[in-house]
């Protein structure tokens, strides 16, 4: 077994990762490019919660209550919530048009 292969098989510790590397991983996860579990696999990070700990320490989003097995990142959740808001705004607009139409048809004011 060559020296290169020995180093590759050794367990790494938190101190083995540079701050720049940690911030790069955190950035990729928070922008939604990968989940923290995918980042762990992509970069060969051995600890199951290592990336999550980096997110909690160095991230800009709230990672304190993210379950270990989640597939959603806060970025994806925000994106989904924005879509939901857009849909609800469109529904509200349709209802407002219906109320305006009813007001005109029956000569009443249904708005409060």
For residues 33 and 83, membership in a common domain is answered with no
Other beta carbons within 10 Å of 16? 9
Range of the domain at 58: 1-70
For residues 27 and 12, membership in a common domain is answered with yes
pLDDT at 8: 46
For residues 5 and 52, membership in a common domain is answered with yes
pLDDT at 103: 85
pLDDT at 14: 56
For residues 104 and 65, membership in a common domain is answered with no
Rounded Cα gap, residues 103 and 9, in angstroms: 74
For residues 109 and 85, membership in a common domain is answered with yes
For residues 62 and 106, membership in a common domain is answered with no
Q: At what angle do helices 50-58 and 19-30 cross, to 10 degrees?
A: 90
Mean pLDDT for each 10-residue chunk of the chain (112 residues)? 43 72 92 88 88 88 62 76 92 91 81 62
> For the whole prediction, is pTM greater than 0.75?
no
Rounded Cα gap, residues 29 and 58, in angstroms: 12
pLDDT at 63: 75
For residues 18 and 61, membership in a common domain is answered with yes
For residues 29 and 77, membership in a common domain is answered with no
The answer to whether 60 and 101 are in contact (CB under 8 A) is: no
pLDDT at 4: 37
Rounded Cα gap, residues 29 and 34, in angstroms: 5
Rounded Cα gap, residues 18 and 21, in angstroms: 5
For residues 59 and 93, membership in a common domain is answered with no
For residues 43 and 54, membership in a common domain is answered with yes
């Amino acid at each position: 077994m060559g020296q290169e292969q020995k180093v590759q098989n050794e367990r790494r510790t938190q101190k083995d990762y540079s701050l720049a590397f940690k911030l790069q991983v955190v950035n990729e996860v928070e922008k939604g490019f990968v989940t923290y579990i995918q980042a762990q696999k992509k970069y060969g990070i051995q600890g199951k919660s290592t990336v999550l700990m980096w997110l909690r320490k160095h991230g800009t989003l709230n990672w304190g209550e993210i379950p270990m097995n989640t597939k959603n990142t806060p970025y994806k959740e925000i994106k989904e919530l924005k879509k939901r808001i857009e849909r609800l705004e469109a529904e509200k607009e349709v209802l407002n048009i219906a109320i305006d139409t009813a007001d005109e048809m029956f000569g009443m004011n249904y708005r409060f």
